[in-house]
Amino acid sequence: MSKRELIDCICEINKSAKPEFLANFSEEQLRLYLENLMELDLAELAACP
């Protein structure tokens, strides 16, 4: 996944994230952040009745 794609995916999950801010991070950092966001998103869905 490209840096731009990572940023787009992060912004879809974290609506308050700004692409300009995320662009300051490396692809590896963004990938790790996206993985964490996806885990949190799944955990939140599992907690919903």
Domain ranges of the chain: 3-47
The pLDDT, as a whole number, for residue 45 is: 61
Query: What tens digit of pLDDT does each residue of 1-49 get?
Result: 999 999 999 999 999 999 999 999 999 999 999 999 998 876 666 666 6
The pLDDT, as a whole number, for residue 11 is: 96
How many angstroms separate the CA atoms of 28 and 16, rounded? 21
Taking the CB of residue 40, how many other CB atoms lie within 10 A of it?
Answer: 12
The pLDDT, as a whole number, for residue 4 is: 98
The pLDDT, as a whole number, for residue 40 is: 84
The pLDDT, as a whole number, for residue 43 is: 65
